[in-house]
Amino acid sequence: MDLGIRGRKAIVNGGSTGMGRSAVLALAREGVEVFVSARTEDRLVRACREIAEETGAAVTPVCADHSREDGRERILAACPDPDILVGTCAPPPMTPDYRAITREDWREAIEISLLSPIEFMRSVLDGMVERKWGRIVNIATVAAKYPGEIRVLSGSTRAALANYTVAVSKVVAKHNVVINNLLPGMHHSAFVEKQFGERAQAKGTTYEQEVAEFSREWRIASERFGDCDDVGAFVAMFCSEFANYITGQSLVIDGGATTSTF
């Protein structure tokens, strides 16, 4: 299916691994020119090269910390007028005890997962409105909608982001600028593989066993974790011409772990 976005320009923040990388890949396959930011240069350059070779699209690495003002300036200098903005970031660690969260933990989480995407939206929305076309997708977390102590540091800041984006989406929708959120659950990202790999090593089990145990404990209906490319596919769809009447939505992608009618 042609999503109608060939030739568009996109910024994908946090796009060197995991769901961010999958978003870059999905957009590049549609012929989008993608500018990809991340903090680790070698991994970022390698990911962009691999995606460019696979898709034939222009994929430009921008080594920068998008949670910092100077990093945002560097990214926007590389692509000052994006048609598409996709935001994600490495999630904070799981928080099995809310009392152990420090003030510095809160500051870092707020900077990277709330203030940074808000500042990016403020920077690009006027141009999108003027051009009468724009797509913004924030890859957040299912914990933004379904709170839990284990994800309180991640979920609370992304819940605030979802509130902000939905409010702003109502203002810009009449200009063919649509803003949506994806709320993924557990996926086989680099972060998850590292965390569950370390857990398996400490317990003398395997990564697969730890994933199966977590899936049972948290009642994931599909009894498995998701693939990051599934999230990337939804990013591309939400950025497409077919999404021009979908705005202010927060789509849960969690394999049936949560229960809600709406």
Q: 29-62: per-residue pLDDT in tens?
A: 999 999 999 999 999 999 999 999 999 999 999 9
pTM: 0.94
Q: Domain-by-domain residue ranges, the chain?
A: 9-187+227-253, 188-225
Query: Rounded distance, CA 90 to CA 112, Å?
Result: 9
Architecture of domain 9-187+227-253: 3-Layer(aba) Sandwich (3.40)
Q: Which of 161, 163, 143 is closest to 98 using CA atoms? A: 143
Using one digit for the tens of pLDDT, what is the confidence trace for 159-179? 999 999 999 999 999 999 999
Q: How many residues does the chain have?
A: 262
Using one digit for the tens of pLDDT, what is the confidence trace for 63-90? 999 999 999 999 999 999 999 999 997 7
SS3 67: coil
pLDDT-derived band at 4 (thresholds 50, 70, 90) equals very high
pLDDT-derived band at 204 (thresholds 50, 70, 90) equals very high
Q: Once rounded to an integer, what is the mean pLDDT over residues 112-138?
A: 97
Task: Determine which of 3-17, 84-98, 219-233 has the lowest per-residue pLDDT on average.
Answer: 84-98
Residue 124 in this model has a pLDDT that exceeds 90: yes
Question: Looking up tokens 């048609």, which residue turns up?
Answer: 83
Q: What is the pLDDT of residue 163?
A: 97
